[in-house]
Amino acid sequence: MCQGIELIGQRTALASKWSHWIRQSHRWLSMAFTLTVVTNFVVRARGEPPAWVTYSPLLPLFLLLFSGLYMFALPYVRRWRSARVSRAAA
């Protein structure tokens, strides 16, 4: 019984570290995305930019999409898991 509680504690700690890493990455990606968009506008003001400048915001944008979806779903998954654990304990 004690080992089960210890295992749940380890999983919670690992999930917390993973969530923290995702949130920090999301913040830095948002700054990178903003910087690429601003750069894109500055380069466009000077003339027609090369294709790589035009498409440079896409990589951070797609990464932001995945990290944002993870953070959006996280409270629902936690609620679902806690309900499942409480049903199993009853």
Q: What is the pLDDT of residues 7-44, one digit of tens each?
A: 556 667 767 788 899 999 999 999 999 999 999 999 99
Task: Flag whether the pTM goes above 0.85.
Answer: no
| CB crowding 39-77: b at 16 or more within 10 Å, else e | ebeeeeeeeebeeeeeebbeebeebbeebeebeeeeeee
Residue-range definition of the domain harbouring residue 30: 2-89
Structure tokens at 56: 């440079």
Residue 90: per-residue pLDDT:
63
Which residue has better confidence, 89 or 52?
52
d(CA 73, CA 52): 32
25 in Cβ contact with 67 (< 8 Å): yes
Count of domains in the chain?
1
